[in-house]
Structure 1
Amino acid sequence: MMESTLPSGASPTRLKTFLQSLGLSGTYWKKLKAAGALSVNGTITRRDALLQPGDTICWHFLPEHSDLLPEKEPLDILLETELFLAVNKPAGLVTHNAGKERTPSLSRRVAWYYHEHGLPCGIHPVSRLDRETSGIVLFAKNACVHHMLSSGALEKTYLGLTRGHWEQSEGIIALPIGRKPGSIVERQVDPAGLSARTRYKVVEERNGLTLVRFTLETGRTHQIRVHCAALGHPLLGDTLYGVPGVPGRHYLHAWKLRLKVPFTDRFLTITAPLPEDFLTVWQKNTDMV
């Protein structure tokens, strides 16, 4: 249950206006009202009541379900709250698939977790990662929170192993990205593409490999991979944008996520430790360079 109070110094405010000021969409407000899931000072209301300073509003999120076929596999949970679930995705696993597909995916594992714990939550991935990218994936537990997190400011920071020596130890890569003609997957730097900005900072260099920290200012498909390749420093293992070969693990990890917690003024930072395969390659750094 969520609860909020109209401040004592505020002017009388309509319930709908107050809830929208907290971030609820107009559509979700209507659904809560129709379901009788809203109360003012302990009394259920189905109208746009005029709130007085000091009034307390409570609401229950509407139960949801998913048609996604659950998958009984391990789930590395980094943080769970009433509003969202942050999970550490391993490389080699798809983030999400739709419908009743049986393809292994992180979202199917989340569906199993919700089922086993009796949580009436939908599957709402706020952030998605490529199959071979590891790290943090954020799932909202309902449509309302999904809307709030998706429209809010999420600061995403990655760690990647790149080839070669970077002349500048830090900077911003501002190169527009568009779809590569003839491909539904591959992207490229394209003057006519969408604006794309990646902040980077070199962390350490070893024997031709460089560990780099990336922070996204935009969220284009394959953004970090395309930007690194364009600068002549493709990610290690990236056979699509780097050295051709059998597709496999590219060494990119969604390391840190900073978000504004819905219905509060509080910011939260979540981190995911580097996986063993990433650390092993970086520490050995021999014949894979």
Structure 2
Amino acid sequence: MKRILVIFLLITGAYIGWNYLFDGSGVNFAQAEDAVKVTNQTKNISIDISSVETMIVPEDRDDVRAELKGKGTVKVAGHGDDIEVTVKRKGFFWFNWFEMDQTTLTVYIPEDYEKNMAIELGSGEAIFKGHSADSPMILKELTVDIGSGRMVLENLDVETFKHQSSSGEVEINSLAAGSGSFEVSSGSVNVKNYSGKLDADISSGELEIQMDALRDDVNLNVSSGNIELDLPDDADFTLNGKVSSGDISSDFPLENKEESDNRLRGKYGSGKYEINADVSSGDININ
């Protein structure tokens, strides 16, 4: 047992020494940065991150700049009309407990950039906020793909919003979208102050979404899991609900209500917008 402990300490010491001698940074003191100018030809900014705490900051600038503090390297590269931000971690994951890993990444983007953006989060945490609800970050398309970890989005105005998560926790506040799609296979997604067309497909997990205004149709599909849809009191909608196993419920007093074991239909207000809800297993609650 003592021999194993000695070998482990020797390997650990060699690992730390390697970092000091060849990385020049020791434990958690490395700093790296890179930048690429945004031009009229730039149509997309892609940010690919994993196991890093990341802040995406819009500010008055004309380039995309990434600053990494901790263990690893960051690269910002232009490829045609795309600018890509990627991070590579150094060392071995089973030493992270010893290093007290606090690696952080800050990505600065032009606040007047209004084209496409894609964020891929393998794990860790990512936070992306516009300046305020009255002065949001405006984009043509925003795509987020989350493997696990946590993501926070706030104060955004986009033509098209595409969300896909297989696990983890997502919090969204103040999102205006011409159209928005949410595909959740596991984990939880909580959305507040949303407006726009909505398509949600939940295979497992939970989606809670509160809408400031109902301005377009809503399509909800649950194969397993739960959806909570919070609508304003002055919403005008026609509910078309189908159930094979599970439940659809509405706290709104529906006119011309038709309710059975596998259907729930009715109108509220003028019935202007369609809410199509399909549950094969799970629950949808409209309140």
- Indicate the TM-score class for this superposition, using the shorter chain for normalisation: under 0.3
TM-score using structure 1 length: 0.25
Specify the structure having the higher radius of gyration (Cα): 2
TM-score using structure 2 length: 0.25
Q: Which has the higher contact order (CA 8 A, sep 6+)?
A: 1
